Structure formats: structure tokens, C-alpha cells
Structure 1
Amino acid sequence: MDENGPLRKPFSYQLTGMVHITKQNPEPWYREGLRFECIRCGRCCRSQGIVWVSPEECSAIADFLGVSQDVLIRDYLLECEHGFVLRDHLDMSCVMLQGDRCIIYPARPHQCRSYPFWAEILESRDAWLSEASRCPGINRGRLWSFRDIRERMLK
């Protein structure tokens, strides 16, 4: 975590974290569930970090934007050793953020869909509350059960 919030981690990290949480602590601190409702404010898209995009997600995003995968890769993604990541603007916000809105919200990557249920945010109540100071959707809206949270992380 940095002063701007948790670094966006690759999905494999989230899975590893979830396995660690459930094996090490079958009764996590959030066993009664957590409240979260995305209000589409875009704050989670403005922190330093990396959003990994799978080949399937590349295809879905390109289709949603109505562009070829070549155009998607050229204009919106960076290729790295382990695949593709979304580019950031100079201010570190996600390239898919325009104003306060994600332009690919219905087709956004799993990593974005699973926020705020990331291993580093669920690590402790303090980490959750720290993230809540940045995300106005945390601790409001729908009550997500432990099972809901686990399923959202693993989808």
C-alpha cells in the first residue's frame, strides 16, 4: 500500500492472498460480511498501480469499444513480460477513466470488478477502513457475505 492507496495487483496475487486468508484464518475478520456499493466516482481508478488484462478481457474490451485488438493494444495497453496492462495517464489515473467515469465499465477487467475485495484490502479491519477513507462506496449499500466476497475474488 502507498500513500495513495493499495497498489493495483495482478489477479494471481489476489488469488494467492485469498487462499492465504482462507487457509490461515478460516474465520476472517469480515466473516459477517462487508458493505460495498460502487458509486462510480472513479477514485479507485486514480491511484498508482497496475491493472492486468487477460486475452479474453482484451477481446471483450475491444468489442465494447468497437475497435480492433491492434488498436486497443496500441492506444490503451502496454505489453509486458506477463501480458498486457492498462496504460495510465500522466497523473497516474487509468487510461479508461474519462472525468469520473470508466468508459469500459460493463467490460472492465476482473481486477476492477473485484475491487475492493482484494487480498491487501481484506488483510485487516484497519486496511479496510483505510481504503474506506478513499472509497465512498465502502461500508454502504449491499451487504456482501463472506461467500459473496470469495466468489467475487475467484470469478
Structure 2
Amino acid sequence: MEIGRRLETLRDLQKIVPEAGLTHPEDVAEEMNDLISEEFEPYFSGNAALHLSATCQRCGRCCNEERTIAISFEDCRTIAGYLGISLKRFMMKYTRPHELARSVVGNARMVRKERDGSCPFYNPDLPGCEIHPVKPQVCSAAYYLSKMNLLLCEETRRFSTFAQCPSDVDLRARMRDFIIKLRNDPEVKSELARIFQSSKPEIRLFHQLLRLKGFDIYFGRDKAMPLVKMLGLKRMPEDEELRPAAFLYAAVLLEAQEAF
């Protein structure tokens, strides 16, 4: 099985931690809990793990069927730079005022949809999103780390499935195969569960970085980077650095839920 190889990547996470260790981890944990209550665990971190384990198939379903797409000012700035146009031109051409009051949403706006309801950045010839590397935060968070899904998971005490999403269908098939192998080896299954429940330094670091990455996906980089600096990290962990262990962690959670 691939467990050993995936677990080896946990040690590599140490390279983004300063030699003296993390700074102010308790303060960061408190700030995180103020924004996302611990009541949402393990669903927040678990959905972050699922998000990292899935690969967008760029089918365009979200792009064409989602009626409204909110876009932050920071998103606008990033996408405008990616497209090589001015921020003003981007906002005039591709956005419209938000449907909610400014007192509620601040300077966030909405993506201006085409007449047929499709996203202006969806290109069927690719196929998929023309700005995929810098797509709006709400697009990056779908489906696992959407606010609606987190509320649903917390209420039902189960992880959601998204039968209409080919990315999730593919991920669940891979998870199913892996979990079947786990169940055929009870000793390995129990050991893997114990590993993610342990207080070993590399496991604690993994959980901290996974939750931090979840904040990056859910809130956006502008909210997550101050936490990175508070922890003294050299940088935000990359998706691929967390992905191998995140797959194992998600599998442990789903197996315990008896989802397969």
C-alpha cells in the first residue's frame, strides 16, 4: 500500500518551520477558532483534506449553473493582473454591484454573468475556466469548503458527497478503493487512525497546517497570510506538500463515518 510513502511527506513539512519552532501557536489557534468554531471540526479540516485530494475536472458545471458568484476586491486585483488589464477596466467589464448591502459585504462585488447565465471566464474550447490559477475565492472553495456545505456537515455530522461533480466522483472512487484495502488489513487501519490521533510533533504540525490551508481556501490569502506570519512560517504550505497526507487523513475520517 502507499501509506508509508504518503506518511514520509509529513517530515518534509518541517522545512517551512523556523528552527526555533512555531511562534504564537496558541494565539493563532484562538484567532482561527474565533473565525471558524471548533464545532465545525473535524468537518472543516476534513473538507480541507478532501479539497486538496480532489482534482478539478474543469467540466464547467459550476461556471454555468451557479447563478451568482461573489468576487472580492483582492480577487479583482489578482485576476486583472493575470489578464494584463487595469483594475478599473476589469471591474467595469466583468463585475457588477453586489446584491447585498455594502455594510454587509464591504467592497465585494459580483461577477457579471453572460446573458445565457454562463461565467464570462468559462471557455468550452479549453474546456474550463480561463483564469483557473487565479479564479475567485468562492470558486476555489467549492464544493467542500463552501459555507453551505460546512453548515450541512456540522448539522448532519457527516461529510457530503457531490454526485454532480466529476471531481468528487473520481475522488470518492479512489477513496473507496483505498478504504476497501484498509478494511482488509485491520491492523494497518487501526494504526493509521492512531497516527492521526497522536500528539507526535509532525502530526500536530500537519493538523495546524491543514487547518491553515483550509483558512487560505475558505477566507482567501489576505486573511490567511497574517496567520502565517504570526506562526513564523517561512511561507504558506503548497497544496502538493499537504496532499499526500491529506488523502490519508480524509480516508480515515470517511472510513470512521462508514461512508463506504
TM-score for both structures, normalised by structure 1: 0.67
Alignment correspondent of 2:195? none
Alignment of 1:41-56 (within 5 A): 41-56=59-74
Alignment CA distance shift 1:47-1:127 (3 Å) = farther
Identity of aligned residues (%): 23
Alignment CA distance shift 1:128-1:30 (3 Å) = farther
Task: Name the amino acid aligned to 2:110.
Answer: V
Task: Name the amino acid aligned to 2:131.
Answer: I
Separation (CA, whole Å) in 1 of partners of 2:54 and 2:60: 15
Alignment correspondent of 1:15? none
TM-score for both structures, normalised by structure 2: 0.43
Alignment correspondent of 1:4? none
Separation (CA, whole Å) in 1 of partners of 2:80 and 2:149: 30
- Between the two proteins, the alignment pairs up a number of residues equal to 134
Structure (1 or 2) with the greater strand fraction? 1
Structure 1: segments with no counterpart, 5+ residues: 1-17
Deviation at 1:79, TM superposition (A): 2.1
Q: Which protein shows a greater Rg? A: 2
Structure (1 or 2) with the greater helix fraction? 2
Alignment CA distance shift 1:127-1:134 (3 Å) = farther
Structure 2: segments with no counterpart, 5+ residues: 1-34, 103-107, 176-205, 221-260
Q: 1:112 aligns with which of 139, 142, 157?
A: 139
Alignment CA distance shift 1:29-1:63 (3 Å) = closer
Name whichever of 117-126 and 88-97 sits farther off: 117-126
Separation (CA, whole Å) in 2 of partners of 1:109 and 1:31: 22
Separation (CA, whole Å) in 1 of partners of 2:45 and 2:74: 31
Q: Does 1:96 align with 2:121?
A: yes
Deviation at 1:138, TM superposition (A): 0.8
